[in-house]
Structure 1
Amino acid sequence: MESVKILIVDDEEHILQVIKAYLENNQYLVYEADTGSGALHLFETLHPDLIVLDLMLPDMTGEEVCRRIRKSSNVPILMLTAKSGEDDMVNGLMIGADDYITKPFSPRELLARVISLLRRSNQQDQNHASLLLFAQGRLTIDLERHEVIVQEEPVALTPMEFRLLEVLAKHPKRVFSRLELVNLTQGDTYEGFERTIDVHIKNIRQKIGDDPKRPIFVGTVFGVGYKFLVSPDEK
């Protein structure tokens, strides 16, 4: 089986080495970059399976690195930051990160987050071949290929966004609380904010062209959470 490739981007050498040691002990193939430009070069040449990305880099911000990567890839990105505020976390998720962890951090917690992200990213391999079509084929969710198509155009969702859309679409009309969605998509050991779900829902709506004021697919149940509004088309 081919080794999983992980790119670590941080300009603090001791943090790089700690993360590298933990990941290599778990049989991951680890690559390092200490600048944003170096990270983008390795991303283009190595095509890593996951990226651990620090926000504070000497030549450009981690947010900018994330934006550039998201133009061409939905590779899982775990943000690494010294900023612990909820707004900082939300901003990171808005530009396409899948998860975040704050410094100082436990290497064991980081490893757990990496394993969880990789598991979700590979979730399609555990699904049966299946297509979900909605609104006379306007929206197609390919569970096997991990693809979303809107009006015959592919839409790039992050692994977390795809998993969230999948959970909702598989249970149309059922109302999920934010906490339920966190547990179903992140795992019940996740200690982040429930507000992360709101950020991911906003991103999904933008990408699939769903007006939040008059949504066709993802509806808000105020004070509770979210639900998928339409049932699959009959095949």
Structure 2
Amino acid sequence: MAEPTQNDAHLLIVDDDERIRTLLQQFLTRNGFWTTAARDAAHARKLLAGLDFDLIVLDVMMPGDDGITFTKELRTHLQTPILLLTAKGESSDRISGLEAGADDYLPKPFEPKELLLRINAILRRVPQNDEIIEKPKVLHLGDIHYDIDRGEMWEGDNLIRLTATEVALMRIFSASPGEPVSRSKLVEDLGRDRGQAQERAIDVQITRLRRKIEADPKQPRYLQTVRGSGYMLAPD
């Protein structure tokens, strides 16, 4: 039985290998997704200029702009979740991808089922318009305020762009401000496989989120590290 999808999501597949593009499109279409494919970053830019996507599956190794460079570019103006396909054993690519703004990565070669599970895990983290929160709350982090009701972060009148993973992290921390959350619990709540590699990935996501919250990310005031316990959101 196919894994349930999120509202027949529209996926953009970016890979220079025509065979892989075709196989991914066929597999994901069979599992209920709308799919569009691009052969490289330049082709993807043209598609993104005219279409909205729910998630981008992006290969790291491509001619022209590689996947990490393209991810950095997209994150300057786009919040669409990005899943990177990386070469097996290239841990540096995975960390660089997360630092660039990717939501998750999957090493090649991979089982199609795992790709499906990771895509659905990312889509579940994206806030849905019909989600209901019992009462609106706002957390103040210095000059920044986080609207829990909307899942939005603002600095004055300026909206701070958050990735799907960052929104999910803020939702987890906002549920229990002032209380530490372990890295293993964050991995579990984000729907990822357990293990040191995923906990390291959490550290990278926390570093990125701090850059958006903290005046001095190296000496965090609001998203604190609690030695032996994990991370804690400490609003004003």
1:229 to 222, 227, 234: 234
1:98 is displaced (CA, Å) by 0.1
Instruction: Return the offset for 1:2.
Output: 6.8
Deviation string for 1:145-171 (max 9, x for gaps)?
331112332111101011112211221
Instruction: Say if 1:18 and 1:107, in contact at 8 Å, map to a contact too.
Output: no
Range with bigger deviation, 154-163 or 76-85:
76-85
How far apart in 2 are the matches of 1:157 and 1:230? Answer: 18
Between the aligned partners of 1:171 and 1:11, the Cα distance in structure 2 is 44
Structure 2 match to 1:118: 123
Q: 5+ residue gaps in structure 1?
A: none
| Structure 1 counterpart of 2:208, from 203, 210, 231 | 203
Pairing 1:134–2:140 present: yes
Cα distance, 1:22 vs. partner?
1.8
Matched, 1:168 2:173: yes
Quick one: structure 1 residues 182 and 70, their matched pair in 2 at CA, closer, same or farther if it must change by over 3 Å?
Answer: same
For 1:119 and 1:195, locate their aligned partners in 2 and report how far apart those are by CA, in whole Å: 21
Q: TM-score, normalised by structure 2?
A: 0.88
Q: CA RMSD in A?
A: 2.1
In structure 2, C-alpha distance between the alignment counterparts of 1:116 and 1:225, rounded to whole Å: 22
Residues 21-67 of structure 1: CA distance to partner in whole angstroms, max 9, x if unpaired?
A: 12111221100011110011111211211000001111211112111
Report what 2:10 is aligned to. 5
Letter in 2 for 1:150: E
Q: Unaligned 5+ residue runs, structure 2? A: 1-5
Displacement after TM superposition at 1:11 (Å): 1.0
Equivalent residues in 2 for 1:1-235, closer than 5 Å: 3-123=8-128, 125-128=130-133, 130-135=136-141, 138-187=143-192, 189=193, 192-230=197-235
**Contact (CA 8 Å) 2:139, 2:148: kept in 1 or not?**
no
Secondary structure at the residue paired with 2:190? helix
Q: Percent identity over the alignment?
A: 36
Greater shift, 211-220 or 48-57, is seen at 211-220
Cα distance in structure 1, aligned partners of 2:71 and 2:132: 28
Per the alignment, in what secondary structure is the counterpart of residue 175 of structure 1?
Answer: coil
One-letter amino acid matched to 2:235: V
The Cα of 1:215 is off from its aligned counterpart by: 2.4
SS in 1 for 2:184: helix
SS at 2:181 equivalent? strand
User: Counterpart amino acid of 2:199?
Assistant: E
Q: Is the 8 A contact 2:81 2:103 kept in 1?
A: yes
Distance 1:141 1:44 in 2: 29
Q: TM-score, normalised by structure 1?
A: 0.89
Does structure 2 conserve the Cα–Cα contact (< 8 Å) formed by 1:86 and 1:193? no
Per the TM alignment, residue 210 of structure 1 is displaced from its structure 2 partner at its CA by: 4.2
SS in 2 for 1:186: coil
Give the 3 Å change call, closer, same or farther, for CA 2–83 of structure 1 in structure 2: closer
**Separation in 2 of the partners of 1:2 and 1:184?**
21
C-alpha contact (below 8 Å) 1:81/1:101 kept by paired residues? yes
Deviation at 1:88, TM superposition (A): 2.1
Counterpart of 2:61 in structure 1: which amino acid?
M
| One-letter identity of the residue aligned with 2:55 | L
Tell me how far apart the structure 2 counterparts of residues 158 and 20 of structure 1 sit (CA, whole Å). 24
